[in-house]
Amino acid sequence: MKKYINRIYMALILIFMYAPILTMIVLSFNASKTRSRWGGFSLKWYTALFSNTDIMQALYNTLIIALLAAIISTILGTMAAIGIGSMKKKIQSVFSAITNIPMLNGEIVMGISLMLLFILVRMNLGFSTILMSHITFDIPYVILSVMPKIKQYPKSTYEAALDLGASPLQSFFKVVFPDIMPGVLSGFLLAFTMSLDDFVITYFTKGPGIDTLSTKIYSEVRKGIKPEMYALSTLLFVTVFFLLILINQNPAEKEKRVKQYSVIRVICKRVLPAAIIVLIAGGGIYYHGTGGISTKDQIVVYNWGEYIDPDVPKNFEKETGIHVVYEEFETNEIMYPKIQSGAVAYDLVCPSDYMIDKMIQNDLLDKIDWSKIPNASNIGRTYFEKSREFDPYNEYSLPYCWGTLGIIYNKSMVKSPVNSWNILWDPEYKNNILMQDSVRDAFTVALKLAGHSVNSSDPKQLERAEKLLESEKPLVQSYSVDQIRDKMIGGEAALGVTFSGEFLYMQRENPDLDFVLPKEGSNVWIDSWVIPKNAKHKKNAQEFLNYLCRPDVALKNFEYITYATPNTAARELIEDSDIRDNPILFPKDSDLKNSETYRYLGRKTEELYAKLWREVKSS
Amino acid sequence: MKNKRKWLAAPYGIWAAGFIVIPLIIILYYAFVSPETSKFTMSNFAMAFSPENIKSLVLALLLSLISTVICLLLAYPLAVILSKKEVNQSSFIVLVFILPMWMNFLLRTLAWQTLLERNGVINGILAFFHLHRLNLINTPFAIILGMVYNFLPFMVLPIYNVLLKMDPSIVEAAQDLGADTLLVYKKIMVPLSIPGIVSGITMVFIPSMTTFVISDLLGGSKYLLIGNVIEQEFKQTSNWNAGSALSAILMIFIFASMFFLNKYDKDGEGTLF
């Protein structure tokens, strides 16, 4: 009876542990691109996976970093454990306190403190900084695994070996080491696992052009995880699972028929691990060579996630031989300190209007030499005129995408007419509303509803907006930036606050969705390319800008990102007139009379916005 | 001989100074310095102790405490069951509990989203049986579930390791002397597994306390935990000084738990593997 209870209990916990993994496996066979819809059984993501060099590269980066970090930290950690074991009690306790810090310190504190260190010593964020950070948080796990074995180990055995004439080195490797081996091995395994699974620390210490699986996945959340990722996880899971079974069967056979199976044992214990290491290392070198850093001419581009057709940089590279190192950011605010600190020398960055304002004010940008960008004439004049609000003489910025902030809604779920921000306060849609999780956009909704400017810095108006947002909170299902798209397509919510450019993609996936620009007005934004002062390849950057302004390239980009392009020549090339003259994507000036562009409001006001937003979120 | 051997720890000592101690000093420096003038100030801490931040700190404490307790309640019986298995079988089963950690942490958490959503798998099953749909996602419940799911192995493994080392004859002796099951647990098993329990508690409590990804993905960003506040200071408002001050406050909790850990797990018995 007790045995059954035990078994049922274990089974329940295993179901709990493996339910999400099962979900991932099922999703890898889903023909539909979004995870919220089942589009039938398909194997296409498995074939797509192997031709997706980005994911494969991220996989190899992940494995190589995990392996190198585990090996180095195992060596350093084992040595340290032996050393600490023979120290005096007092120094020992100091060491073990320091060793505990990386394990107990929140990952976020660790990640940030390491990032600050690397920025301070002007180290380029990249492969080496990730590796060093991983070694740092891996070592304590090794020490803690080896330490108990060393403490258990009787010193007399080692002394006996010395007495019998072995050298200290000999007696260590022949006598002591085999006994502490299990601790070393489990330390290695633990270090490897922790490094494989890390996201937060990698996220803060990585630089452009390098991604591990974690950071790759995180940047994909915005447009929905690519199903190839699920296919990859399924393959990894199956591989590891079979390896486990294989390794586990080994010891049982050992006792029965040692001689017969010795070949298998050799294969399992030596050949297999060696093969895996060679495979990882070889593959890493291969992919590193094809996609990684090279000595050729290059530019370092820092852009929003999913904000360029991946073929565009590749084609540019083919045409000009200039290699494009590409890095993505999610918010203007995470991009800004990286530029300000000069931790990475980016050649091209694509911030929004108010951030460009801030960057110009803080003297972080270089003037663009327009004579080098003849194709800039393809950009509509009105967009340059609008840019003057933040770039008064059109010296620093080249418009790339523009749009508005509005409401996306599901026609089958919303019965009343949608034309005002007001509907987001309608109790009928409790738990059916998705709000933008960014300070300025959330405040735009409330400020406009109350009839104020989106650039208000009047504390009274802002507090009023804060009260409004607070009263909306009980109705809100979630605050997000990344996931509004997925959730609206999947019919998870009736109303969402999002950008006009999202509409085209969402409506293709779910025809019930429609977009409206509320009558109170909203925010009109422009994202533009700028060249930072510390850019190393300004000439190449301008060549790339010229390439991006070519009508055919701009059209290709538009079709991929679906955000309105300011490139009028490209817009004329759009064949479908429903899209070309779409009032949502390309609103007329008369529709925008209540809408404003964001301006940089200064540090004090920025802090006030942030504080009020935190009050909303924690209310 | 002994004096020489301790120098083996020197490379690690240098590494730890460079990558553990110095970064912490940098954080403290930022925390005590004004963003505009780089002069000493306490204003970052004044900002850090605003009512809304204290609210998120308390919420983080509460949710991570609940998760830790649930983890302990789930993990202890499991560790006992596992420790009674045959040696061979048990190592396999232990690996089975580590295996999910090899799948990406973000993907696993996102998969929970698919399970918990309004039109998700669990509600789909409920609807199939004509049961009432549950509002699971974007609730504190979902956040706790995410914490328990992600950190449960860190509770199971240390307890399991301590139990494994326990001499079974002690339990037998107690039983021979007439102790019933409850008494055996109360007087023998639990007191002897304290190092594992303490190590498990810290290994679950600290990451739950500082997480920002789980509350973002499963809580719909409606519940601001202290980890989210810090992340936002660095990522959204780019106020590194206030973020550092908050990190410094968080460190107080970390050092407190370190003290706690050192007191009960002197020999580092409660290891993960």
Asked if B54 reaches chain A (Cβ–Cβ under 8 Å), the answer is no
How many domains in chain B?
1
User: Could you list the residue range(s) of the whole structural domain that residue B72 is in?
Assistant: 53-225+255-264
CA distance A41 to chain B (A): 17
Q: Which of B15, B230, B258 faces A76 most closely, judged by CB atoms?
A: B15
pLDDT score recorded for residue A596: 93
Tell which of A113, A195, A205, A429 to mutate to test the B interface (max B CBs under 10 Å): A113
In angstroms, the CA A500 to CA A477 distance is 21
pLDDT score recorded for residue A570: 95
Q: Are B271 and B161 in contact (CB under 8 A)?
A: yes
Show the tokens assigned to A443.
Answer: 């405040």
Q: Which fold has domain A402-525+602-618?
A: D-Maltodextrin-Binding Protein; domain 2 (3.40.190)
Show the tokens assigned to A446.
Answer: 């409330």
In angstroms, the CA A494 to CA A426 distance is 12
> Residues of chain B whose pLDDT is less than 50?
1, 273
- ipTM score here? 0.88
Q: Which residues of A touch B64 (CB under 8 A)?
A: none
One-letter amino acid at A358 equals K
pLDDT score recorded for residue A499: 94
Tell which of A229, A618, A619 to mutate to test the B interface (max B CBs under 10 Å): A618
Q: Which residues of A touch B32 (CB under 8 A)?
A: none
CATH number of A53-225: 1.10.3720.10
The residue among A565 and A217 whose pLDDT is bigger is A565
Q: Which residues of B touch A240 (CB under 8 A)?
A: 99, 102
- Is residue B172 one of the residues assigned to a domain? yes
Burial per residue of A528-558, b for 16 or more beta-carbon CB atoms within 10 angstroms, e otherwise: bbbbbeebebbebbbbbbbbbbebebbbbbb
A152: nearest CA partner in chain B: B267
Nearest to A360 by CA among A333, A391, A393, A329: A391
In angstroms, the CA A233 to CA B17 distance is 37
One-letter amino acid at A216 equals K
Q: Do A16 and B149 touch (CB under 8 A)?
A: yes
Task: Map out the domains of chain A as residue ranges.
Answer: 53-225, 298-401+527-582, 402-525+602-618
The residue among B183 and A264 whose pLDDT is bigger is B183
Strand locations in A244-380 (E): 298-304, 323-329, 348-349, 365-366
Angle, CA of A217, A442 and B222, to the nearest 5°: 60
The tens digit of pLDDT for each residue in A6-33 reads 989 989 999 999 999 999 999 899 888 7
Give the three-class secondary structure for A349: strand
Q: Which residues of B touch A93 (CB under 8 A)?
A: 262
- Is residue B44 one of the residues assigned to a domain? no
One-letter amino acid at A139 equals I
- Is residue B25 one of the residues assigned to a domain? no
CATH number of A298-401+527-582: 3.40.190.10
CATH of the domain at B139: 1.10.3720.10
Q: Which of A98, A116, A147 faces B30 most closely, judged by CB atoms?
A: A116
In angstroms, the CA B94 to CA B108 distance is 19
Q: Which of A19, A83, A480 faces B5 most closely, judged by CB atoms?
A: A83
The tens digit of pLDDT for each residue in B206-239 reads 889 888 889 988 998 889 999 899 888 877 777 8
Q: Which residues of A touch B26 (CB under 8 A)?
A: 113, 116-117, 120
In angstroms, the CA A142 to CA A152 distance is 16
pLDDT score recorded for residue A29: 92
- Other Cβ atoms less than 10 A from the Cβ of A290: the count is 11
Q: Is A104 exposed, middle or buried (0-12, 13-18, 19+ CB in 10 A)?
A: buried
Model confidence at A545, in pLDDT bands (50, 70, 90)? very high
Asked if B220 reaches chain A (Cβ–Cβ under 8 Å), the answer is yes
With a pLDDT cut of 90, the percent of chain A lying above it is 50
Q: Do B221 and A200 touch (CB under 8 A)?
A: no
pTM: 0.85
**pLDDT mean over A68-80:** 94
Model confidence at A120, in pLDDT bands (50, 70, 90)? confident
- Is residue B221 one of the residues assigned to a domain? yes
pLDDT score recorded for residue A495: 96
CA distance B177 to chain A (A): 23
Domains A298-401+527-582 and A402-525+602-618 share a fold: yes
Q: Do A197 and B104 touch (CB under 8 A)?
A: yes
CA distance A116 to chain B (A): 7
Q: Which residues of A touch B236 (CB under 8 A)?
A: 331, 333-334, 438-439, 610
pLDDT score recorded for residue A261: 46
Q: Are A84 and A95 in contact (CB under 8 A)?
A: yes
The tens digit of pLDDT for each residue in A382-413 reads 999 999 999 999 999 999 999 999 999 999 99
The residue among A100 and A199 whose pLDDT is bigger is A199
Burial per residue of A414-449, b for 16 or more beta-carbon CB atoms within 10 angstroms, e otherwise: beeebebbebbbbeebeebbbbbbbbbbbbbbbbbb
CA B100 distance to own-chain centroid: 16
- Is residue B122 one of the residues assigned to a domain? yes
Model confidence at A252, in pLDDT bands (50, 70, 90)? very low
User: Radius of gyration of chain B from Cα atoms?
Assistant: 22
The tens digit of pLDDT for each residue in A420-471 reads 999 999 999 999 999 998 889 999 999 999 999 999 999 999 999 999 999 9
pLDDT score recorded for residue B62: 95
- Is residue B118 one of the residues assigned to a domain? yes
Q: Do B240 and A151 touch (CB under 8 A)?
A: no
DSSP code at position A125: P
pLDDT score recorded for residue A469: 96
- Is residue B94 one of the residues assigned to a domain? yes
Across-strand partners of A348? A301
